[in-house]
Amino acid sequence: MQLVETEYKGKIRSWGKTRKSLGSVHVPKELADDLWLWKQRCPNPSPDAFIFPNKKGGFMDSNNHRNRVLHGLVQELELPKLTFQVIRRTIATLAQKKGTVKDIQGVLRHSRIATTTDVYVQEIPESVQKTVDAISAELRLLPNLVTRETSVLLPNATKLKSGVSASS
C-alpha cells in the first residue's frame, strides 16, 4: 500500500510530519484481503476513496475518532488511557520480541532511531530479567579466562591488576 497524503488538524496535505511519513507500507496478506472485502461494502469502493471514510465520504477526523471510539473503549475495558500515542507505544514495545530496533523504526515510520528507542519502546521487566539471565548463562559456559597467573580480560572488561582473579 502507498501512503501518499496525511491528515493534520482537519486538512489533507501531500507531505508528512517527517520524510519517512509517506511511502510504501507493508500490509499482511490477511489484512489486505480483509480491507479489500471491507472496501467492496463501502459506498465508494474506488481505489482513490478513503478506506475508512466519514459519513460524507471524506476523511475521518482523528479527534472525532478518539472521542467517539477510543474513549468508549477506555470505559468498556476499564483502561486508564487510550490514545494513538499509547497504541503506537504498545506496538513498539511488543515489537521488541518480533524484530530489531531498525524494524520497529520502520514500522513506526520514524526518521530518527532515537525517537523510536527513547520515546516509544518501553522496558519490559520480564524481558530485562530474561536478558540478564541469558547473558549470565552464556558467560558461565566460557572457560575461566582470568586466573591468578594471567591478566587476560574479556572484551570491554575493566582493567585487572596482574595476579588478581575475576572470581575472587
- The whole-number pLDDT of residue 168 equals 46
What's residue 157's pLDDT? 58
Residue 82 backbone dihedrals phi, psi, to 5 degrees: -150, 110
- In tens digits, the chain (168 residues) has pLDDT values of 888 888 888 888 888 887 788 888 888 999 999 999 999 998 899 988 888 888 888 888 888 888 888 999 999 999 999 998 999 999 999 999 899 999 999 999 998 999 999 999 988 888 889 989 998 888 888 766 555 555 555 565 555 555 554 554
Q: So what's the pLDDT on residue 118?
A: 93
Q: Angle, to 10 degrees, between the axis of helix 101-108 and the axis of helix 84-95? A: 150
**Are the C-beta atoms of residues 124 and 93 closer than 8 Å to each other?**
yes
Task: Identify the pLDDT of residue 153.
Answer: 53
